[in-house]
Structure 1
Amino acid sequence: MSLARVHNFSISLDGFGTGAGQGPDAHFGHAGDRLHQWMFATQWWEAGGTAGVDDVFVQRHDPGIGAEIMGAGKFGHPGWHEDPDWKGAWGPNPPFHTPVFVLTHHTRPSIEMEGGTTFHFLDTSPAEALETARKAAGDQDVRIGGGPTVIREFLAARLIDHLHVVVVPVLLGRGVRLWDGLEGVEKDYKIEQTSSPSGVTHLSFTRA
């Protein structure tokens, strides 16, 4: 069976995976790009970037992925469902290049984008969404793309096989936390920690 994987999910020191006050021009709310600056500095993101440990981790984002599951909050700002022309925050050629299943209570017809990405909208449980995504992924894995609420729900349901969390040395104070309600979840995993010169810490959880 294919694996359910999370890659490059960044959180603050106080556990927030996104900031407060999300809007059309603030995809991560008041956090801005502070949780992802480590990624923007890598070769994976831009030619001439760093080739160190951060780049090694971020390069694992795409290989072997045949489908993605994301939450409504990653697909768009609060209220996106009221805009029939909203097609996500990534322009006409999103970076996924696979089927993407958006978990939302506001379903709509599938949207085919450039580059192989097609957004499908599901109002279902994590287990049922994963079953659907696995069928679309074939013999490849499924990436659980976020945001923090969706990853938390999949962790609570014991559905994630590999989790890569990047702890960024900033304090956000408000937003949406990743770890709330997950006491003891670490017992399911072998955990490795890798520190980076950029200041972030990579935590890799692999199902025991």
Structure 2
Amino acid sequence: MSYVRRGPWTCGFLVVLLVAHAWFTFSPAADGAVAWLSTNLENLARHPVGSLVGSAVVTDGPLLDPGLLITLWLGIGVALWWIEAHRGAGRAATVFLGGHVGATLLTAAVLVVALRSGRYPDDTRSAVDVGISYGAQAALAALVVALPRKAWAPWVLFVLGWPIADAEWFGLLPDFTTVGHLIAAAIGFVLAATLLRTPRPTS
């Protein structure tokens, strides 16, 4: 099958995500695992590697939930696959990890400042924050390289707009997950303009 042949890394990742989704959906230990894997400030201080790595395989909610339609199916199944097929697995992995790790750590810095200034409630420090959405958001943003110039503006509006649509606001500051998605999008756009400008070498 051409889809699998051209994007084996992405297809393997999708299989891992679907298997993990089944476990997190049906296992009685899922709630405890999610609490441990959450990339909130408390976990990042206690076990940063475990939470960053483990969080990257969590998909929360029904598979046809609007959020997963965007992140899992469009972000991973389409955008990340296209990057792998046309730019190589290494650059696809860089985009996903750049969004997942980079946005998580930068959002943590925003959280620290916002908590100290009283912008966010104190329980935000231990809020559950897991999933693939930052990495998927970076891939969605990076997919702009596949589009004709006339589609760039609508695509950018979509990528930035969908997380803002459901944002909770604390004055002029949106909730931290929205901040994370916007940072991830910025990372994806930067990588699109730098790392992804040239096609993968052909052999």
TM-score, normalization by structure 2: 0.24
Bigger RCO of structures 1 and 2 (CA < 8 A, at least 6 apart): 1
| Structure with the higher helix share, 1 or 2 | 2
| Structure with the higher strand share, 1 or 2 | 1
